[in-house]
Chains A and B, each alone.
Chain A
């Protein structure tokens, strides 16, 4: 596509990158077909091609965006389905990230919107604060109908019944490999996940140790920066990313690391992009080293090969593909192959490429679209008649489990169970999981 930037504009590295991306778009429209918000809203302005147009117009003309433009860009889930679909390799992720940063700098949101974003940015990335907020939300939940704002209601509704205490395993330390050490890996323990569900990191540590990994929780590791990055708050996100890079490089230059393992795919997409994120930062080279080591837990497990399973029940598992895994990191078959190797029957819902509507803070900021996507996702999952649903991202897990009785587990919990770990808590607690005659699958 033709672009109209002046040389002065192109002197800015972010604009130069966006120009490259815009130039690679041929405006073919394929991306519209797999965009969840376009499917729900049916307006090209709520599709990648429309947003690319809005962004192009905003950047070329140094515009302060109007409210409508911001709304359409805010409605993007950053699910990156468009990047899987795009035949021309348009790097939509970098473009929308730039747009969000630009909007944050130039556009003044209404006071309540600003307050909400400030609050989320100050709470979600910090597990201690988030845990307190969850407890508060849990107590306030019965009164949610009194709230005038759908977003605040959505937040209270998201608060889970069970809020686990902080896990000792998430403190900086090293877990030795069981048997001969095959790899030394760092685990990104995450932020919101640590407050919501401590079983995932616990299962990951057990699983990796059992497969010959020494697992290190580096001192100073924390939120990957994705949550604030997607709000356009780059100062915060860059600081968080840099802190992680320093923490990991300390281990890397010390005893060495074979991988940085990530079990929240939303974070994985961001850590793998650290080289770009911190390209103008003094530690850009280190950021590139860390990005190159980043691996989703299913990637490293596929490398290691699963031990012979002996433990789990052969449940029918609906695999929910998190967008950050299938689109952001282009990891599609590894989780399913591993689950099959672990002895589970794996089924996939129709339209598995479409987002469940979780998308980081999206379900809190855009409750209407998010809940429509959740309903659609659940209908397709339930049509597969699963006994359990598995996913590789805490956001999707929270989103989907909020509306179904079917137990939801992280993929690593099943792999851990199958190779000797405990039965996942949500399966053990569920009353509906029975080994019963299953009706024929409808999808």
Chain B
């Protein structure tokens, strides 16, 4: 069904499945282990549905200690472990293997501590991204990284993938907002790293964990930096008659020294879908930018005026500045429903690559050319301010061969991102989706160092197998791990 290969499951583990399940059930409270084939099927994939494989079992612990127990059992019995947050990954980050046990964090839902004086919140990592900000709303604070799936995705997944979002242009991605973690090691040991105090000396191990895609440990608790909500925020909408000009405008805004909270980009394919879906009243043109600035009323007015001067040099089709809360909502309405609108057009592959902002015009032009060559429509809707692109390749999952063509097209786009000086992922992570492209981004030495680090944390290579590192590159490590006692 697909072009990305997964390794053969370990026949030894499969043969021992009944003992493994029994051991997990004996060690954990009732209702924690799921093993019937009818039920494990629902855990066979995340939001990248082209790749599916039911795991051997699913464990849903309620505490860090229960996670540790599950990890210890798996470690002793040499069973691979696939960590799972809310299963919203578009990169296959939570794809199981047939010989693996999925450990889900979704029942770890406690808000443990809110400290506005020291500006942090401590949560169990099964809490959803949006629930963190909701918890802080009354106090006037929020948690800045806001991936589009923030309603459903968990902090555990955000940390694993170093997630970003529209607000990250100004506030940074997860790693810039993560202060400490409580992790369960592959052996089942519980370790605390970092904490609410800034500037801890020594190696930045929290930084190492963030973005490690479940290769090093499972994060069960996190201390997150929180920021006060701004006095106000308002967007402007700018329409252009060419994608390249819109891309150019992004570069000019950033170059001018302005730092908007968000610069979002939508192209004509996306605009048409959005208009059909929610009638947002966007202009009929090649591309739209939504630029949001925040601060006091005077600061907002000043910034909007500067953006207007920059945009006018590029002859926009339309420049619409919001003056009221209702107008702001109207401007954001289409962007917020973009993914839903695209979903109504059919199946899509949502890519995630980052390019230097100055290379946006060239990249957009090349994607348009590739779209023609592959005969597949592509919609671009993304966080343009930090060059984090999300081309959505439309295809029909029930038409034979279309998925493979879409995947090849996607790989070409990601190679293009690297070629212009960008990288394979902005916020979705590598997972399996970009695993085999890692050699395009990194030299053999780069990857060797990364795999050495994994071996320190996970000598038996049991955590989140067959992700991140291309199989042929990781083969010696996996082989060596299989032989170690």
Contacts and interface: CB of A to CB of B under 8 A. Distances in A.
Interface of A: 1-3, 23-24, 26-34, 42-45, 49-50, 53-54, 57, 66, 68-69, 72, 85-89
Contacts of B60: 42-43
Nearest to A88: B343
Interface string B34-74: 10101101110111011000000000101000000000000
Nearest to B277: A89
Contacts of B42: 44-45, 49-50, 53-54
A45 to B, nearest CB: 5
Interface in B149-167: 149, 151-153
Query: Which among A53, A57, A72, A86 has the highest number of chain B CB atoms within 10 Å?
Result: A53
B49 A27 contact: yes
Nearest to A351: B134
Given A53-B41, A69-B38, A87-B340, A27 B47 contact: yes
B87 A54 contact: no
A69 to B, nearest CB: 5
B339 A28 contact: yes
A315 B106 CA distance: 40
B344 interface: yes
Given A3-B398, A89-B340, A45 B151 contact: no
A33 B152 contact: yes
Given A43-B60, A54-B38, A68-B36, A29 B46 contact: yes
Contact of B152 (A3, A29, A43, A89): A29
A26 B88 CA distance: 11
Nearest to A26: B343
A68 B38 contact: yes
Q: Chain B: interface secondary structure?
A: loop
A85 B47 CA distance: 16
B308 interface: no
B34 A24 contact: no
Given A54-B38, A85-B151, A89-B340, A26 B86 contact: no
B339 A87 contact: yes
Nearest to B89: A29
The 3 closest A-B pairs by CB, nearest first: A87-B340, A88-B343, A42-B107
B128 interface: yes
A388 B344 CA distance: 42
Interface string B343-364: 1100110000000000000000
B78 interface: no
A2 B398 contact: yes
B344 A88 contact: yes
Contact of A87 (B43, B49, B126, B337): B337
B130 interface: yes
A32 B152 contact: yes
Contacts of B259: none
B438 interface: no
A44 B126 CA distance: 13
19 contacts: A2-B397, A24-B343, A27-B45, A29-B46, A29-B86, A29-B87, A29-B88, A29-B153, A30-B88, A32-B152, A33-B128, A33-B152, A42-B60, A42-B62, A42-B126, A44-B104, A45-B39, A50-B42, A68-B39
A216 to B, nearest CB: 37
Interface of B: 34, 36, 38-39, 41-43, 45-47, 49-50, 60, 62, 86-88, 104, 106-107, 109, 126, 128, 130, 149, 151-153, 337, 339-341, 343-344, 347-348, 397-398
Contact of B344 (A3, A24, A42, A45): A24
A50 B43 CA distance: 8
Given A2-B398, A24-B344, A87-B339, 16 more contacts: A2-B50, A23-B398, A28-B152, A30-B88, A33-B86, A42-B106, A42-B107, A44-B43, A44-B104, A49-B42, A57-B38, A68-B36, A87-B340, A88-B340, A88-B343, A89-B344
Contacts of A24: 343-344
Contacts of A2: 49-50, 347, 397-398
B43 A29 contact: no
Contacts of A66: 36, 38
Contacts of A3: 398
Contacts of A88: 340, 343-344
A68 B339 CA distance: 33
Nearest to A57: B41
A343 B16 CA distance: 69
A19 to B, nearest CB: 10
A34 B86 CA distance: 12
A26 B47 contact: yes
A72 B39 CA distance: 9
B151 A30 contact: yes
A419 B337 CA distance: 41
B342 to A, nearest CB: 9
A72 B397 CA distance: 27
B339 A42 contact: no
Contacts of A69: 38-39
A1 B149 contact: no
A87 B343 contact: yes
B344 A33 contact: no
Contacts of A57: 38, 41
Contacts of A27: 45-47, 49
Nearest to B336: A87
Nearest to B44: A53
Contact of B151 (A1, A33, A50): A33
Nearest to B43: A44
Nearest to A44: B42
A34 B152 CA distance: 8
A54 B40 CA distance: 10
Given A2-B398, A44-B106, A87-B340, A29 B38 contact: no
Nearest to B36: A68
A230 B46 CA distance: 29
Query: Which among A30, A49, A88 has the highest number of chain B CB atoms within 10 Å?
Result: A30
A86 B340 CA distance: 8
Query: Which among A23, A26, A32, A53 has the highest number of chain B CB atoms within 10 Å?
Result: A26
Contacts of B348: 26
Nearest to A4: B398
B339 A33 contact: no
A57 B153 CA distance: 25
Contact of B149 (A29, A43, A49, A72): A29
A89 B39 CA distance: 25
Contacts of A33: 86, 128, 130, 151-152
Nearest to B403: A2
Contacts of A54: 38, 41-42
A29 B47 contact: yes
B18 to A, nearest CB: 18
Query: Which among A2, A68, A85, A87 has the highest number of chain B CB atoms within 10 Å?
Result: A87
Contacts of B39: 45, 68-69, 72
Query: Which among A24, A45, A69, A86 has the highest number of chain B CB atoms within 10 Å?
Result: A45
A57 B347 CA distance: 19
Query: Which among B42, B50, B340, B348 has the highest number of chain A CB atoms within 10 Å?
Result: B42
B341 to A, nearest CB: 8
